[in-house]
Each structure stands twice: as structure tokens, then as C-alpha cells.
Chain A
């Protein structure tokens, strides 16, 4: 079964600095996808970035980049130049496709990021 582990319940970073949020995963599937979502205090889940297991390059989306290390089964999120608005819960997730064709996301417990001014 798929499993996502986020070992950092909370992280603090100074505004304008970079921060890395850890995510490790476990799967026996040769093909998989990894996601990061942001959940601000307002509650909605905002998609940030996606990495496919066969993608040759690490995914990047603006200030977000994914440090994908396949051999170590890690998919850490790097946020550069942190902003106060980055304060939120961050969830790492993996796409799980069942034999019946159903698709779902398997989430980690999340990391609460606080950006200090």
C-alpha cells in the first residue's frame, strides 16, 4: 500500500529565506505521481506542484520546486524567498490507482509552516 510520511509537524522560517519541507513515500508501483498541496487558514486545499516518477527533471512552479530523489524515495518541497502568505499547512500526497481503475490521493499528516517577519 502507498504511504506518505511527513516527519515535521511544524516548521519556522524567516521571511525571504528558503525552506524545505520533507516528504518520504513508500510504494511498490513503478509508476506513480507525487503532489504538494497548501492549506491556508481559510481551509481550501491549493495544488502547488506535481512530480511524475518518470519525469527526468525536478518539477518547478514559480517559487516552488520539488527535490525528487527517487532512490531515497523522497519528494521534498522547497519554497524559495518565503513570504508571510506562505504560512499554512502543507500536505504531500501520492496518487494511488487501483486495479479497478479508481484513483485517489494518499496524504501525509502535513507540516505547518510559519513564516516570521
Chain B
């Protein structure tokens, strides 16, 4: 079974340009999360989708970031226009939804390393 797939693995763009990151979750996983790690700091939550709906986007830094999840399958995270401080590694994770609050493991992708110059 394929794991969580992220594309591209690396991206170098100039300040002011637009970049779109893509995440393909594990098939059947309704939960999809985006996280970001800026160099030397903690991995920070950005947002959480349940199917195609945004359950929580409290971690999105500002309105230059736009996340979508078309049809509840893959997700994209667009940064427009990119700034220097957006550089970091962007992780996507997915998990199954449970209705009993039981533990479900979140599976992570390999991340997209974004460098804004």
C-alpha cells in the first residue's frame, strides 16, 4: 500500500513567486494534516481537513497560504506570494477517522523542502 506522497520533494523559488505543494494521503484516510518545520524550530501545525472540509486552519500563518482538498482526496497548499520566512519543510500527514476517540496513527509524508531566496 502506498504511503503519504508529497510533491515536489524540493522547491527553490524567488521571493514574490507562487509555489504549490501537493499531498496524496493514504487511500481511505479522511483526516489530512499540513505541518511546517522552520529551521531549528518545532514542527508546527498548519491545518486539518476531514474529507474536503477544513476542520481547523488555526495554524495557517497568514492569508498568503491557501489549502484545498479537492473531492476529499489529494490536497494542495499554495503560497502566494512567497516570502523569505516561508522557507522550511512542509509535511503532510493522514489518518483514519474514528468516532470513539481511540488512538489512530498519523502517517507522514517525506516532506517538501521549500527555500525562498
Q: How many A-B residue pairs have CB under 8 A?
A: 60
Q: Is the CB of B108 within 8 A of A37?
A: yes
Q: Is the CB of A47 within 8 A of B45?
A: no
Question: What residues on B are CB-neighbors of A105 within 8 Å?
Answer: 33, 35, 43, 45, 93, 106
Q: How many Å from the CB of B88 to the closest CB on chain A?
A: 13
Question: What residues on B are CB-neighbors of A104 within 8 Å?
Answer: 33, 45, 48, 56, 59
Task: Determine the interface band of chain A, counting residues with CB < 8 A from chain B.
Answer: 20 to 34
Q: Which of A16-24, A69-77, A79-87, A94-102 contacts B (4 or more CB under 8 A)?
A: A94-102
Known interface pairs A45-B108, A104-B48. Does A109 touch B103 (Cβ–Cβ under 8 Å)? Answer: no
Question: What residues on A are CB-neighbors of B105 within 8 Å?
Answer: 47, 50
Q: How many angstroms between the C-alpha atoms of A108 and B56 in the bound complex? A: 21
Which of A4, A93, A102, A110 has a CB less than 8 Å from the CB of B48? A102
Closest Cβ neighbor of A104 among chain B residues: B45
Q: How many angstroms between the C-alpha atoms of A101 and B3 in the bound complex? A: 25
Q: Is the CB of A109 within 8 A of B42?
A: yes
Question: What residues on B are CB-neighbors of A44 within 8 Å?
Answer: 3, 108-111
Q: How many angstroms between the C-alpha atoms of A103 and B93 in the bound complex? A: 12
Question: What residues on A are CB-neighbors of B41 within 8 Å?
Answer: 109
Closest Cβ neighbor of B49 among chain A residues: A102
Answer yes or no: B55 CB below 8 A from chain A CBs: yes
Q: How many angstroms between the C-alpha atoms of A45 and B41 in the bound complex? A: 16
Q: How many angstroms between the C-alpha atoms of A19 and B40 in the bound complex? A: 23
Question: What residues on B are CB-neighbors of A37 within 8 Å?
Answer: 108
Q: Is the CB of B110 within 8 A of A98?
A: no
Answer yes or no: B31 CB below 8 A from chain A CBs: yes
Closest Cβ neighbor of B56 among chain A residues: A102
Question: What residues on A are CB-neighbors of B101 within 8 Å?
Answer: 97
Bitwise, B1-28 to A at CB < 8 A (1) or not (0) is: 0010000010000000000000000000
Chain A contacts to B: CB under 8 angstroms: 4, 33, 37, 42-47, 50, 52, 91, 93, 97-98, 100-110
A-B contacts, 23 of them at CB < 8 A, read: A33-B103, A37-B108, A43-B9, A44-B3, A44-B110, A45-B108, A46-B108, A47-B106, A50-B105, A52-B103, A93-B43, A102-B55, A103-B31, A104-B48, A104-B56, A105-B35, A105-B106, A107-B42, A107-B43, A107-B44, A109-B41, A109-B42, A110-B43
